[in-house]
């Protein structure tokens, strides 16, 4: 009888074997390849890369396969792998003005230099189940029409506003950005650190925080000044060479919001900014990120503290990470016999004392 | 990927160095929570990532490791962490408290007194003893700086006003060397007296919360209380049904549909050692090893 609660080792091995069997599923159904996941579940791959903070579509696809499609579990696998990788150095800042855009839209100007490029978006699809997709192995989709790239360089909308002093300028403080994966988070956090935490943060959490600002909890009146998705070059300075060398390309989504600012007696009204950037095509996340970024800037921009959750840096940054959150949440299923036993004793003792007190009173 | 792809005890040397620096600082300021750049580990937060990182930073190839969870060597998570270090560090492992040089624990301090040279590594979920009184880290750090612990005493007083006693039964707060109030991790308060004056080095790792703290050997650790409501360690009012021990912390096990209970030592090594020495409890059978000896 007592033996039944012990014997963890054999149980763990058996559980792992069962998990592997369940992951593969029915053997009469073909096994999914990494390439299939990478190509056909690309938005899932992007989310895992963004929240895993590692640009590697193949590894992200492998993580999704291994985690049976549990994306937070996949993010966790990527994080645990990433943390073991040696750091050679830091790349130069990516130049998103030089992005090869597959999508670039502005909600603030009907047309602008470089034009509006819709790209592969769900935005104007009708959400009707397409039963043709259920009939697999049928004809490939009609080839989409193509057009030559519009221009090599795509100016930022906020840059255009900046020329007329209509938007608050961003000054490069010249500080090396902190890295919360290499040093413990310190509060209050610099904006660069907040952006890093948000870029890695759980999409659902950041989305809800952003949504809450739209519903009045720390309202910032955001317009999507610009949303762009595409490939950017990554360069790194090689000390032995003394100049920067292009080492590859990554896909990113960048969102810049234009937000209202009332101004004051001394300062005339000017728009303010929120910023979001994520690895891969991840537009919901990067829009949400820029709204939360803007809400967190209340102090710097001289706004009132309204007590809204999205204004609360400590609350947002300490709870955005889904690997931390899921770990701590799920750990309560681990054994707690010892603590529970001490609580049992305590409750019994308190009840006995209460009973004795009542009997004495009678 | 083969295990050779990882460094000894999993973490790279730079990371270990960073953790060791935090450990040295923690030892220098007993009870003070030192921030450290906790890494993602291949087990989830809440499973002991802080303890695992501290253990990884302390282990040498000559160490003998013991891992316990709820006092037992054979609970699932203890098995999993022990396997992890067997695989990544190849160190010798043991279930014997006396033979281990490093012991990683969750929720218990072994019954057998620890000796000089041993390291006890605690897994810590919430390192901040004031957290449930004040959720903000920025505030609680200030409270520690100013030694402003009034809130904690008010909480303990309110317990007494409501229940006639301090109603905290585990993770019972302590004061270290008369300075820092410290969370001893969720050990039952029965274990609190063992924190003080221990010959072993006690290290506490909180991975998700990125904090390390320590009790160097022979540190004075006092469980918070009031003169008229002194601290009292408690346990189930029984003897161990397997080994008959009367002073060890007990797990309560429900053994049939009628709700019959048996009480057994939560420290499995302690219980087995006693049985091998010939002690037999109410429901126990004489140990084979003991009979042969």
pLDDT class of A121 with cuts at 50, 70, 90? very high
Whether residue B271 lies in the annotated active site:
yes
Residue in chain B nearest A357 by alpha carbon? B164
Return the H-helix or E-strand segment holding A250: strand A243-259
Secondary structure of chain B in HEC code, one letter for each residue? CCHHHCECCECCHHHHHHHHHHHHHHHHCCCCCEECCCCCCCCCCCCCHHHHHHHHHHCCCCCEEEEEECCECCCHHHHHHHHHHHHHCCCEECCCCCCCCEEEEECCCCCCCCCCCCEEEEECCCCCCCCCCCCCHHHHHHHHHCCCCHHHHHHHHHHHHHHCCCCCCECCCEEECCCEEECCCCCEHHHHHHHCCCCCEEEEEECCCCEEEEECCCCCEEECCECCECCCCCCCCCCCCCCCCCCCCEEEEECCCCCCEEEEECCHHHHHHHHHCCCCCCCCCCCHHHHHC
Q: Which two tokens stand for residue A12?
A: 């763990």
A236 and A309 co-located in one domain:
yes
% of chain B exceeding 90 in pLDDT: 85
Q: Which of B31, B50, B281, B284 is catalytic?
A: B31
CB pairs under 8 A between A and B: 150
Q: According to the model, what pLDDT value does residue B34 have?
A: 98
A298 and A214 co-located in one domain:
yes
In the predicted structure, residue A18 carries a pLDDT above the cut 70: yes
- Domain end position, chosen among A295, A310, A326: A326
* Three-class SS state of A284: helix
Tens-place pLDDT, residues A68-91 = 999 999 999 999 999 988 888 889
Cα separation of A151 and B91, whole Å? 61
Is A280 part of any domain?
Answer: yes
Tens-place pLDDT, residues B212-254 = 999 999 999 999 999 999 999 988 899 999 999 999 999 998 8
In the predicted structure, residue B271 carries a pLDDT above the cut 90: yes
- The region of weakest confidence among A158-167, A184-193, B51-60, B174-183 is A158-167
CA neighbor of B245 nearest in space, from B265, B222, B267: B265
In the predicted structure, residue A182 carries a pLDDT above the cut 70: yes
The mean pLDDT of chain A is 91
A319 and A236 co-located in one domain:
yes
Return the H-helix or E-strand segment holding A275: strand A272-279
pLDDT class of B27 with cuts at 50, 70, 90? very high
Q: According to the model, what pLDDT value does residue A151 have?
A: 64
Is A355 part of any domain?
Answer: no
Residue in chain A nearest B48 by alpha carbon? A331
B226 contact partners, CB below 8 Å, separation of at least 6: B156, B157, B160
Whether residue B58 lies in the annotated active site:
no
- pTM of this prediction? 0.88
In the predicted structure, residue B292 carries a pLDDT above the cut 80: no
Is A43 part of any domain?
Answer: yes
Helices (H), chain A: 8-24, 34-40, 42-52, 57-66, 71-82, 157-163, 191-200, 203-214, 283-296, 313-319, 322-330, 337-361
Q: Taking a C-beta distance cutoff of 8 angstroms, is the pair B84, B52 a contact? A: yes
Q: Which two tokens stand for residue B254?
A: 């429900």
Query: Total structural domains in chain A?
Result: 2
* Three-class SS state of A281: coil
* Three-class SS state of A125: coil
Q: Which two tokens stand for residue B262?
A: 């048996």
CA neighbor of A196 nearest in space, from A360, A346, A321, A332: A321
Is A221 part of any domain?
Answer: yes
Q: According to the model, what pLDDT value does residue B82 have?
A: 95
Tens-place pLDDT, residues A298-352 = 998 888 899 999 999 999 999 999 999 999 999 999 888 889 999 999 999 999 9
Is A352 part of any domain?
Answer: no
pLDDT class of B291 with cuts at 50, 70, 90? very low
Is A139 part of any domain?
Answer: no
A154 and A276 co-located in one domain:
yes
Tens-place pLDDT, residues B74-130 = 888 999 999 999 999 999 999 999 999 999 999 999 999 999 999 999 999 999 999
Which B residues in the span 224-243 are in contact with A, Cβ-Cβ below 8 Å? 234-236, 242
Strand-strand pairing, B261-265 and A222-238 = unpaired
Cα separation of A111 and B182, whole Å? 61
Instruction: Provide, as residue numbers in chain B, all residues whose Cβ is less than 8 Å from the Cβ of A341.
Output: 188, 236, 249-252, 266
In the predicted structure, residue A3 carries a pLDDT above the cut 50: no
A211 and A309 co-located in one domain:
yes
Q: According to the model, what pLDDT value does residue A138 have?
A: 67
pLDDT class of B134 with cuts at 50, 70, 90? very high
In the predicted structure, residue A250 carries a pLDDT above the cut 80: yes
Cα separation of A348 and A354, whole Å? 10
Q: According to the model, what pLDDT value does residue B290 have?
A: 46
For residues A217-238, give the mean pLDDT. Answer: 93
Q: How far is A187 from chain B (nearest CA, A)?
A: 7
Q: According to the model, what pLDDT value does residue A87 have?
A: 84
A48 and A159 co-located in one domain:
no
Q: A174's torsion region: left (phi>0), alpha (psi -120 to 50) or beta?
A: left
Cα separation of B266 and B51, whole Å? 20
Residue from the list B74, B137, B255 with its beta carbon closest to the beta carbon of A8 = B74
Q: According to the model, what pLDDT value does residue B222 have?
A: 98
A315 and A225 co-located in one domain:
yes
Q: According to the model, what pLDDT value does residue A302 have?
A: 86
Q: How far is A356 from chain B (nearest CA, A)?
A: 13
Cα separation of A75 and A70, whole Å? 9
A17 and A63 co-located in one domain:
yes
Is A261 part of any domain?
Answer: yes
pLDDT class of B288 with cuts at 50, 70, 90? low
pLDDT class of A150 with cuts at 50, 70, 90? low
In the predicted structure, residue A46 carries a pLDDT above the cut 90: yes
pLDDT class of A110 with cuts at 50, 70, 90? confident
- Domain end position, chosen among A54, A82, A110: A82
A202 and A235 co-located in one domain:
yes
Q: Do B45 and A343 touch (CB under 8 A)?
A: no
Instruction: Provide, as residue numbers in chain A, all residues whose Cβ is less than 8 Å from the Cβ of B236.
Output: 341, 344-345
A159 and A236 co-located in one domain:
yes
Q: Which two tokens stand for residue B17?
A: 């160095």
In the predicted structure, residue A120 carries a pLDDT above the cut 70: yes
* Three-class SS state of A121: coil
Is A140 part of any domain?
Answer: no
B3 touches chain A (CB under 8 A): no
Cα separation of B23 and B28, whole Å? 9
Which B residues in the span 162-181 are in contact with A, Cβ-Cβ below 8 Å? 163-165, 167, 169-171
- The region of weakest confidence among A56-60, A161-165, B8-12, B289-293 is B289-293
A223 and A274 co-located in one domain:
yes
Q: How far is A131 from chain B (nearest CA, A)?
A: 39
Q: Taking a C-beta distance cutoff of 8 angstroms, is the pair B250, B236 a contact? A: yes
Which B residues in the span 115-144 are in contact with A, Cβ-Cβ below 8 Å? 125, 136-138
Q: According to the model, what pLDDT value does residue A221 have?
A: 87
pLDDT class of B289 with cuts at 50, 70, 90? low
Residue of B44, B105, B260 best to disrupt the A interface, most CBs of A under 10 A: B44
Q: Which domain holds residue A78?
A: 2-82
* Three-class SS state of A48: helix
Q: According to the model, what pLDDT value does residue A4 have?
A: 38
A24 and A171 co-located in one domain:
no
Cα separation of B103 and A302, whole Å? 52
């Amino acid at each position: 009888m007592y033996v039944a609660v012990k014997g963890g080792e054999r149980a763990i091995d058996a559980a792992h074997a069962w998990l592997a069997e369940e992951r593969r599923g029915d053997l009469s159904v073909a096994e999914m390849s990494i390439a299939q996941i990478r190509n056909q579940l690309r938005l899932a791959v992007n989310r895992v890369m963004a929240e895993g903070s590692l640009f590697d579509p193949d590894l992200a696809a492998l993580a999704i396969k291994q985690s049976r499609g549990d994306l937070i579990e996949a993010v966790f696998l990527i994080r645990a792998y990433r943390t073991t990788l040696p750091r050679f150095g830091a790349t130069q800042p990516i130049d998103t003005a030089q992005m090869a855009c597959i999508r670039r839209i502005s909600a603030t100007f009907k047309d602008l230099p470089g034009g509006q490029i819709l790209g592969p978006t769900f935005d104007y699809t009708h959400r009707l189940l397409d039963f043709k997709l259920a009939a697999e192995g049928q004809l490939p989709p009609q080839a989409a029409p193509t057009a030559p790239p519009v221009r090599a360089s795509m100016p930022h909308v906020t840059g255009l506003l900046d020329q007329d002093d209509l938007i608050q300028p961003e000054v490069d403080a010249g500080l090396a950005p902190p890295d919360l994966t290499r040093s413990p988070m310190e509060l209050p956090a610099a904006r660069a650190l907040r952006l890093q935490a948000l870029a890695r943060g759980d999409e659902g959490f950041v989305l809800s925080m952003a949504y809450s600002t739209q519903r009045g909890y720390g309202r910032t009146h955001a317009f999507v000044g610009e949303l762009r998705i595409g490939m950017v070059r990554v360069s790194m300075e090689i000390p032995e060479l003394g100049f920067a060398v292009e080492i590859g390309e990554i896909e990113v989504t960048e969102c810049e919001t234009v937000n209202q600012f009332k101004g004051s007696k001394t300062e005339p009204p000017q728009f303010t900014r929120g910023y979001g950037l994520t690895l891969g095509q991840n537009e919901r996340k990067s829009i949400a990120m820029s709204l939360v970024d803007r809400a967190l800037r209340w102090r710097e921009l001289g706004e009132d503290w309204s007590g809204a959750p999205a204004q609360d840096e400590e609350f947002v940054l300490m709870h955005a990470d889904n690997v931390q959150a899921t770990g701590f949440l799920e750990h309560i299923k681990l054994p707690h016999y010892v603590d529970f036993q001490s609580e049992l004793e305590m409750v019994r003792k308190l009840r006995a004392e209460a009973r004795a007190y009542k009997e004495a009173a009678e | 990927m083969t295990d050779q792809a990882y460094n000894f005890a999993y973490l790279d040397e730079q990371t270990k160095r960073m953790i060791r620096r935090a450990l040295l600082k923690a030892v220098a300021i007993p009870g003070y929570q030192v921030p450290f750049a906790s890494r993602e580990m291949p087990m989830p937060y809440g499973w002991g990532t802080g303890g695992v990182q501290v253990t990884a930073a302390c282990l040498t190839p000559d160490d003998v490791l013991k891992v316990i969870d709820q006092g037992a060597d054979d609970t699932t998570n203890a098995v999993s962490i022990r396997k992890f270090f067997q695989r990544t560090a190849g160190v010798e492992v043991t279930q014997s408290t006396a033979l281990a040089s490093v012991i990683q624990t969750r929720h218990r301090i072994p019954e057998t007194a620890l000796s000089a040279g041993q390291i006890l590594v605690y897994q810590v979920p919430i390192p901040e003893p004031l957290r449930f009184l004040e959720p903000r880290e920025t505030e609680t750090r200030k409270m520690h700086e100013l030694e402003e612990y009034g809130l904690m005493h008010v909480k303990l007083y309110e317990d007494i006003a409501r229940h006639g006693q301090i109603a905290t039964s585990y993770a019972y707060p302590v004061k270290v060397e008369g300075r820092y109030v410290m969370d001893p991790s969720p050990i039952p308060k029965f274990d609190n007296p063992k924190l003080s004056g221990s010959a072993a080095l006690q290290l506490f790792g909180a991975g998700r919360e990125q904090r390390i703290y320590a009790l160097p050997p022979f540190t004075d650790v006092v469980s918070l209380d009031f003169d008229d409501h002194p601290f009292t360690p408690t346990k189930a009012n029984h003897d161990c049904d397997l080994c008959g021990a009367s002073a060890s912390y007990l797990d309560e096990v429900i053994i049939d549909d009628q709700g019959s209970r048996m009480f057994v030592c939560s420290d499995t090594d302690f219980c087995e050692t006693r049985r091998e020495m010939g002690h037999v409890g109410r429901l126990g059978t004489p140990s084979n090893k003991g009979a042969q000896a």
